[in-house]
Amino acid sequence: MDEDKVMVIMTSGPDTPRRCATPFFMATLAAAMDYEVSMFFTIDGTLLLKKGLAETIYPKKGGKSVGEFLQEAMEAGVKMTACTASMELHDLTQEDLIDDVKMVGGASMWQMAEDCKTVLSF
Amino acid sequence: MATINGCNLPEDLYYFIEKHIWAKPMDGKVVRIGMTTVAGKLSGGKLNAVTVKRKKIGEEMPKGKSVATVESSKYVGPVPAPITGVLVNANDKLDNDPNLAISDPYGEGWIAEFEASKWDEEKADLLTGPDGLEKYKAKLEADNISCD
The predicted-structure confidence for B129-138, as pLDDT tens digits, reads as follows 999 999 999 9
Report pLDDT for B99: 95
Selecting from A29, A34, A63 the residue whose C-beta is nearest the C-beta of B76 gives: A29
Minimal-distance CA residue of chain B relative to A24: B76
Cα dihedral B25→B28→B30→B33 (10° resolution): -10
Q: Label residue B73 exposed, middle or buried (CB < 10 Å: 0-12, 13-18, 19+).
A: middle
CA distance B49 to chain A (A): 11
Distance between CA atoms of B81 and B77, rounded to whole angstroms?
13
Give the pLDDT band (50/70/90) at residue B1: low
- Beta bridge partners of residue A100, listed in sequence order: none
Contact between chains at A76 and B65 (C-beta distance less than 8 A):
no
Question: Is A33 an interface residue toward B (CB < 8 Å)?
Answer: yes
Contact between chains at B77 and A25 (C-beta distance less than 8 A):
no
CA distances, B48 to each of A63, B83, B100, B140 (Å): 16, 26, 11, 25
In this model, does residue B109 exceed pLDDT 70? yes
Report pLDDT for B45: 78
Selecting from A32, A63, A64 the residue whose C-beta is nearest the C-beta of B66 gives: A32
Contact B10, B38 (CB under 8 A): no
Contact between chains at A33 and B78 (C-beta distance less than 8 A):
yes
Per-residue pLDDT of chain A (122 residues; tens, 9 = 90+): 667 999 999 999 999 999 999 999 999 999 999 999 999 999 999 999 999 999 999 999 999 999 999 999 999 999 999 999 999 999 999 999 999 999 999 999 999 999 999 999 99
